[in-house]
Structure 1
Amino acid sequence: MTTKIETLEAALRNALGSQIQDLKVALGEVTVVVGASDYLSAMRVLRDHADLRFEELIDLCGVDYSTYGDGAWDGLRFAVVSHLLSVTHNWRLRVRVFAPDDEMPVVASLVDVWSTANWYEREAFDFFGILFDGHNDLRRILTDYGFIGHPFRKDFPVSGYVEMRYDSEQKRVIYQPVTIEPREIVPRVIREEKYGMK
């Protein structure tokens, strides 16, 4: 007897064919990797094909693989990962697409396929700097409009580049370079034999 995962895997191979670069089943979940050039058409197939019917995009996020596997990663740096749900068939799917250029990561926008992609793509742009071709309102959503850089990139400094504070003389919030001094914190060690003694 065929399991639900095997049925989904067969339907994916049948519907997407050569657009699938990789398909893995792990921990009861199916992950499909498609190329950036096939991304938009593959997602439309996943939504519209009668054997698949992924009606809902339930999540989309960016990923920076630059230090993945302790730096052993040798593939492209940025990926977009989408999670899809088929209410009709009651199954889920993860789709991964890698941006072909690490310096300027660009993939197609899914806003015309699923309108819920709008804010997810804005978040991936804001945090990772991934551009979505065809998105009609790609601007920051969680960081300030004057924010410099993309804070979820692995090469972004933990302390950031600027800090803001209220200036009582100017009567407004101002931005200035970070003034945090990097320091090494040495933990205090408590010796059990003298703990609690005076």
Structure 2
Amino acid sequence: MSEFAVRPEAIQDAVVAALGDKLRRIDIALGEVTVQVSQADYLAAMQTLRDAPGCRFDQLIDLCGMDYSAYRDGQWDGARFCVVSHLLSMELNQRLRVKVFCADDDLPVVDSVNGVWAAANWFEREAFDLYGIVFEGHNDLRRILTDYGFVGHPFRKDFPLSGHVEMRYDAERQRVVYEPVTIEPRDITPRIIREDKYGAGV
């Protein structure tokens, strides 16, 4: 940590004072502060973190989705989908991680923070594309990495490795066509066991 960086405990105190009852949880680990807020308070909490005097998190440097369905070998009992944001205050030289869990696993929805930080635009589109998380209030929420006709969300833990469809160029039709996947999924990868000195004489 830089000698000019704000101590994590000082960031924690400032965030607790600013968020008040909007704060669900706050932790310090490895010198970093992580905050959890509820889905209902998410947008208001993010605006507070940007504007409050002790916070001044004027930059959103990253936002991503997470799928907790296989977390701890499936022993996770919380909500499945989470949005994680990383904030930076240039003025105060401090960083913060913010987590918000989506209340509905079947239709994960959180408010868009695109109006708070313009940088959220493509980050939220990516999380929508890869995880299926809907950002309410986003003015252009559409896929950004996969094709328009893509089926499913490829970063979800239950998405098949082979996908649902494959595409190829059809010379007769002179266009790209989508077809069912023809490769068979491999369930078992053989384990290779070699002798202790394998390749030593080469």
TM-score (normalizing by structure 2):
0.91
Equivalent position SS for 1:142? coil
- Given that residues 66 and 82 in structure 2 are in contact (C-alpha distance below 8 angstroms), is that contact kept between their aligned partners in structure 1? yes
Note the residue ranges of structure 2 that are not aligned, 5 or more in a row. 1-5
**Does 2:109 correspond to 1:106?**
yes
The alpha carbon displacement at 1:77 in A equals 0.4
Counterpart mapping for 1:133-148 below 5 A: 133-148=136-151
**In 2, Cα distance between equivalents of 1:96 and 1:125:** 16
**Partner residue of 2:45 out of 37, 42, 47:** 42
Aligned partner letter, 1:186: P
**Pairs aligned (count):** 195
Distance change in 2, residues 1:186/1:50 (3 Å) = same
Aligned partner letter, 2:149: G
Counterpart mapping for 1:126-165 below 5 A: 126-165=129-168
Structure 1 residues 52-104: Cα deviation after superposition (integer angstroms, max 9, x where no partner): 10000000000000010111100000000000000111010000000111110
Aligned partner letter, 2:161: V
Counterpart mapping for 1:17-166 below 5 A: 17-166=20-169
Q: How much is the aligned-residue C-alpha RMSD, in angstroms?
A: 1.8
TM-score (normalizing by structure 1):
0.93
**Does 2:13 correspond to 1:10?**
yes
Structure 1 residues 132-187: Cα deviation after superposition (integer angstroms, max 9, x where no partner): 01001000000000001000011111100000111222222111000002344435
Distance change in 2, residues 1:93/1:193 (3 Å) = closer
The alpha carbon displacement at 1:196 in A equals 9.5
Sequence identity (%): 59
